[in-house]
Structures are given as C-alpha cells and as structure tokens.
Structure 1
Amino acid sequence: MEIHFKDDNGPVEEVINQLMKLSEGIRRPAIVREMILASLKAGQEDNGKVDLKLMNTSLKEMRFTAKVFGPYSHLKKVSVFGSARTKPNTVLYETAYNLGAKLAGSGYMVITGGGPGIMQAVHEGAGPDHSFGVNIRLPSEQDSNPVIKGNSKNIMYKYFFNRKVAFLKESDAIVVFPGGFGTLDEAMETLALVQTGKRNPLPIILMDEPDGNYWLNWIKFIKEELLEKNYISKSDMHLFDLTDSADKAIKIINKFYSRYHSIRQIKNCYIIRLKKPLEEEKLKEIKTRYSDILKTDGKICLSGALPEEVDETEISNLPRIIIDFNKTNYGKLKQLIDEINC
C-alpha cells in the first residue's frame, strides 16, 4: 500500500497507535507518528543505496544528542572552536584554558569538538563537570582528549552535519580561536545561519592572541572581497566581535544576555523576550533607528506574553518587544538586540 502523512493509512494507523500506546510515555504522538511513517515510506522507496543507513544513523545520533543535553537545558552553554594542533605552553592554549575556567566560574558550560589543542585547553580550564564533547569519527581516528574521554557528556558522531547541529542548537554563544579548514568551516557556517535567520542571534566572538593578526587578516579579506563587492551587507559585520582576552569575551556574552532573554517568531512577527522592561525613551530611539528593517507599515511595540506562547509558562511574566521584522537584515536585528542591552 502507498503510505501518506495524512491520516488515511487504514490498518497502518491502528498499528502505529497501538505501538505508541504499548511503548508508553510518548509525549508528542503526532510528531512520533510522522517519524514512523517517514521510516516506512523510506523503506518502501529504498533502491539499495546507502540512504537508509544515513537516515538511520542520523536519527539515532540526533536522539542521543537530545538525551545527553536534555538535563542541562536550563544552563547556558558556550561552544568553542579552534585548532586541534595548538600546543600547550602557547599563548593561545593558555588563553583557551583561561576562557574555559572563567566561563565555568561564571556559570556557563562549554562545548568543544572534544579533541586536542584548543578543545582540550578549554576543557582543562572548565573541568569535566562543566564540559561537553561533540567529537567526530575520522579516518585518522581523532581521539577524545583525556579531560572529556569517558565522560557521559562526550558524544562521538559519524556525520559532520549532525555534529554541527548539536553545536549550534545547544549554544548560547560561540567563541572561535584560530584554526584550519574545520575551524573556518564552523565559523562561516555559524555566520551564514545567523545571517539568514536559520539560527537565532547570539554572540559570535573571534578570539586571537594579543597582537595576533589571524582574525585581522580574515576581517580584511571579508571587507575587501565580500563587503566591497556587495556579497554581504554592511550590517553583517556586526554579527561578530573580535577580542584577545577571555575576560572581554565573557563580558561580551554577559552583556548580550543582560536584558535580552530569547526570541521567537509568531505570526510573521519577531517576539523579543526581555529580563527587564525597556524604558520608553529607549524604545523611541529603537523605533527611529531600526525602522528600515520593518515590513511596510510595520511597527515596534511593547507587549506581554502572547496566547501562542502558552507552552512557555516559565517565562510568561517577561516583558516583550514585538517587531514586524522584514526578515532581510539579520545583522541589523543583532544590532537592535545589542542596543537593547546597552
């Protein structure tokens, strides 16, 4: 029989409902039902290639990711990218160690790729209790560093794309140290996802050693080859910050979350939830400076919780700003959030 996602699969629907009932504890049966149907459809459409294996492994990796991170959802986490080749007793290694220690001391958990170099330095500083590892199986067998190895919060992935989803889904901030192709790939994908609105705004911090020019050269390239040739917008340069200090990095992260709490899209509007109310004078300034990112006849106004946010009762008391955002300039949306936090 041909299987559909609509509720018209006859006895298959009955078996799926019975299976969920026997399994017990299924909290979102409508979604689980579609996942089962997708698996059945994939099985029918299999042509002998490796597609089923890819789908199966991806689902299992994402499920395990949710299981590992779930108990820590109430804690803010910072992902740190950087070279696996950075050696101990170097300035960058020491900076990464200090960053990990200061993040843990400030109540953050850290997420790294779980390998050596910058990743190990961050874990050494933060300690195993405050660390996650999201490692990848490579032909050269990159092993987990001794800090995170054997830790229940260390995940080994087969696919890079699942690993990247874990990094960005679970992070409240990103810090990027100098590194090779993998580090630059992680940095650029993060920027691309935030720039296009596929990931909510967050601090993206480029970290270098004092007097280092790794990121200065990168920024020079971005300005000369991307910005000047109109491949990106001027406001996209506000998606990231540059620093050479662990203290400054934490200050940037803390400031971003000083008033801003979170953001959600509802009925084509963006709802920014705040930890404390925004002053009327500040709201007037924002309305004037950011009118160009609004839809035609759009507005920016204060609000309480909307009916659609009923599923988030724990933050129902927070004040809101409603923005009729035109979804074309996420760099300037990040600027707006930065200004709210001033």
Structure 2
Amino acid sequence: MTLTQDAAAAEAAAHPRRESVYRPGHPVDIRRTVGMLRRGPGDPTMVFDGAVIWRTVRTSRGAATLALRAVGDEIRASAWGAGADEALETVPALCGAHDDPSGFDPSHHPLIAEVARRSPGIRLARTNEVFDALACAILEQKVTGLEAFRAWRLLVTKFGHRAPGPTPRPMYAAPTASEWHRIPSWDWHRAGVQPPQSKTIVRTAARADSLARAFRAATTGDDRDRVLTSLPGIGVWTSAETRLRALGDPDAVSVGDYHLAHEVGHALTGHRTDDDGMLELLAPWAGHRQRVIRLIFASGVSEPRRGPRLTPADHRRH
C-alpha cells in the first residue's frame, strides 16, 4: 500500500463507521431538506451520490463525514472519523426536527396549497453552524452564484480538513473561524474574493464565538438581524441567508436578492415585483415566509430568462 493508503487504513481502524437511525414521524424529503445546504455541484462539503447525501461536519474532535439515506420512514445515517458520534447527533436537526409548521396555512394561494399537498416532506434544515453559514453568505455578496461557489470550493479545499470515510470523491470540512482568519490576502485574491468580502469574513472570524452565542440567544428574526448587521459589511440579505441555514428560520426573507423578488412575484401573480412587492405578497404567511419561498422553488414555476447569463468578472486580474 502507498503511504496515503496506509494512513487511510489506520484512520479506518481507529475510527470505524458508526450508524444511527432517525425516525421522524412525518415525511422528510432529504434531498430538498438537507440538500439545499449544498453550495453548488462542486461543493467539497456536500455530495449527492444517487440516493445518498454525503456531508462533512466539523466537530469538537475533528472532521467527520455523514452519509444519509432515506429508507421507507427512516433516515439511516453512517458516520466516520473521530467525531462520528457527534456528527450523528446533528442528523435530526439537519432533517428538520426543529422545524415547526404550526400555524402555516398554505390555502392563501392555490400554487402554495398544491405544492404543500404534493411535497409534504420539505422541511427546514438547521445546521447550528453560525459562522460557516455567515461565511458562505458573505462570499455570495454582490457576485454570481458561480463565482461564490468557486471561491467556497477553492478556500475550503485548501484550508479545510480532509474528510474521513469512503466518500465518493475527496471531501473537506470547512475551516474553523480561526483558520479563516489566517487565510493570506493572496489566497483570497486567487479565489476571486473581493477585498470588502474577505475583510468582512476576517473581521467576523475574530468574533465568531461571541457572535454565534448572541445570534443563537436572539429570539426573533429582527433581533437576529440586529446581532449580525451591527458588524460592518453585513446587511439584512446576509443575515437572512445565515438565519435560514444555521437556524432553519421559517420566516427569513433575503431582501435585496438579485432574483428572489422576481421569482416570488412571477409565481404568485405571474408578474415581476420588487422587494416591497414581495414582502406584501408574503405578508399573509408572516412567520412562515421562508417556508413559502421553499415551496415556490419546489413548484418548478420560474420566471423565463430575459437575456444572456451574466459572465463573471475575473477580479484577480485587477
């Protein structure tokens, strides 16, 4: 065996596969629930492999890998690495165990009612990884998804931690906040991250623990927004994106998104709208507006493209 194979064999022997079964008691579509956390098809932290979703987890004992598969009414999880048991504990939250749809009335609009009836397994995932969600959102500020996903892939692969287990391709757990803080300026530049975004991540990384505690302690969306937007470079869009991934916030709405208002307007009225119009359309579902947005995405109804796809600018040349 090669040195790499020897190391892999030693790791497997020291930390064999651990398994658990989650029985949620209600339908869960893991592809639409857990899968929405994937940051593009090349995401090094999440891979779709047939019916299995592979996801890396950074635990207190190091990087771990989860493999999730729905079998009947069960979600079967396997985990590898020193933090395997800790990773298995995250499965219920990832699969929407904390998502409470009480009070949600889809009947305010026929499309929402139909999709809710047809897709009862859409739940809101919760990672509890506040800084990771925040870093992703900051990378996505004012750029195309293609640019943001590329930056995430390059930085996590270089500065993250190789994931254990028989993953379908090499996978990595995201860097810790202190590791994000130490990324050199030239590596941000090579990844195509503009200085305002890299500086915001570095500043935020220095306060990651206290920020996460305050964010989790906040009990309303407005309070969570105030925690995050108190920092330079973080606005309501970034806060909403963090809320929906880290806490599965059912009411988070990404005001200021380039496409979202157009898509919501088209789905609910057949016409484009702006942010104010979107908020008015979503008002009947106050407390569950993110849930409605997820159902709109699941409906397949989408505004037709009006022009050629935006070509990303290569800021590394400047």
Same fold (TM over 0.5): no
- Bigger radius of gyration, 1 or 2? 1
| TM-score, normalization by structure 1 | 0.26
Question: Which of the pair has the greater relative contact order for Cα pairs under 8 Å at 6+ separation?
Answer: 2
| TM-score, normalization by structure 2 | 0.28
